[in-house]
């Protein structure tokens, strides 16, 4: 039987899996503020809230309740993110979101490997993450930072100028839209049959077979060999 290698620590899996819940609540509660297309969410929530609070304005009642959910989710997620951020900063230089090799040629080669794997279905040479995953992770970090900072500017808007609050509102929405688009791609690729082992590792065991890593993540396997984690 092939040796199991831990690829996602318990902390990483805990944060990722709970981040999922928070993003769900933040998205559901934020979309109606972003666009009237999603008013149905506020109406859906608003009907019981309006009945319970004796408020005749259903949309208004729903939106107020969703704002509360948005603030609460954002606050708890911020608290949860603080220890996780410190843990990640401790191994900052070793984070797999950074390129295995730097430079334009290495980046182009990374995309060629992705094409080989996802389009031609040939064997490709990847690190722990492929170039697409690395770019995704970097973009998510940037978007989350912008969303968090702009969100807190909007909550404590009385301490800032109207212009800054206006910029924060724009930045909050734009970074959410970028993040949302990236998440659609992320969810598609994460649930794609070709990634079922990684999916299982993230949501169940945190481990991958040594043979699987050797076959699918050869650069990562070499790195593990150098570190003495595999023979």
Partner 1 sequence: MSINMKCYDTTPCIRCFACMVGCSTENRLRLQRENHFGVEKSVQNKLEQHNHLKPMRKEFGIFPNSRQVTAFHHCNHCDNAPCLNICPVDAITRRVGSIVVINQDVCIGCSSCVDACPFDVPVVTNGKAFKCHGCYDRVENGLKPSCANICPTEAMFSGTSEDVLSEAYKRAKLYTEVTGKEHVVYGAEQVNEYVGKLHWITIIPKEDLEAYALDTNPTRGAIQVREAVKTGGAAAAVAIVIGSVGHLIYWLGKRKEKIKQKEQDHE
Binding site for partner 1 (CB under 8 A): 32-37, 42, 56-57, 59-60, 63-64, 67, 118-121, 154, 157, 162, 165-171, 173-174, 177-178, 180-181, 184-185, 188, 192, 194
CA distances from 187 to 42, 95, 118, 138, 213 (A): 25, 21, 15, 16, 22
CA distances from 24 to 18, 28, 70, 80 (A): 10, 6, 10, 16
**Alpha helices (H) along 8-103:** 10-34, 39-53, 58-90
77 versus 168: smaller Cβ distance to partner 1:
168
Work out how close the CB of 182 gets to partner 1 at its nearest, in angstroms, rounded to a whole number.
9
87 versus 145: smaller Cβ distance to partner 1:
145
Work out how close the CB of 125 gets to partner 1 at its nearest, in angstroms, rounded to a whole number.
19
4 versus 67: smaller Cβ distance to partner 1:
67
d(CA 87, CA 217): 25
77 versus 153: smaller Cβ distance to partner 1:
153
Give the residues across from 207 on adjacent strands: 6
Work out how close the CB of 197 gets to partner 1 at its nearest, in angstroms, rounded to a whole number.
16
d(CA 138, CA 221): 22
112 versus 192: smaller Cβ distance to partner 1:
192
Residue among 223, 218, 197 nearest 209 (CA) = 197
Tokens of 102: 């730097």
Work out how close the CB of 72 gets to partner 1 at its nearest, in angstroms, rounded to a whole number.
16
Work out how close the CB of 206 gets to partner 1 at its nearest, in angstroms, rounded to a whole number.
27
């Amino acid at each position: 039987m092939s040796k199991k290698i831990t690829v996602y620590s318990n902390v990483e899996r805990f944060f990722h899996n709970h981040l999922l819940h928070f993003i769900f609540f933040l998205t559901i509660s934020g979309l109606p503020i972003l666009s009237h297309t999603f008013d149905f969410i506020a109406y859906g929530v608003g009907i019981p809230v309006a009945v319970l609070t004796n408020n005749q304005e259903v949309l208004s009642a729903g939106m107020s309740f969703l704002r509360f959910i948005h603030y609460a989710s954002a606050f708890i997620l911020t608290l949860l993110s603080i220890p996780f951020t410190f843990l990640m900063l401790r191994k900052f230089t070793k984070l797999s979101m950074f390129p295995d090799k730097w430079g334009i040629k290495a980046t182009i080669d990374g995309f060629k490997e992705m094409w080989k794997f996802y389009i031609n279905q040939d064997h490709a040479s990847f690190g722990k993450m492929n170039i697409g995953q690395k770019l995704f992770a970097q973009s998510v970090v940037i978007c989350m930072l912008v969303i968090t900072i702009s969100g807190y500017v909007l909550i404590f808007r009385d301490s800032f100028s109207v212009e800054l609050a206006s910029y924060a509102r724009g930045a909050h929405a734009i970074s959410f839209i970028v993040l949302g688009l990236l998440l659609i791609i992320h969810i598609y690729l994460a649930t794609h049959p070709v990634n079922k082992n990684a999916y299982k590792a993230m949501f169940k065991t945190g481990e991958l077979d040594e043979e699987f890593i050797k076959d699918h993540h050869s650069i990562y396997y070499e790195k593990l060999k150098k570190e003495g984690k595999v023979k």
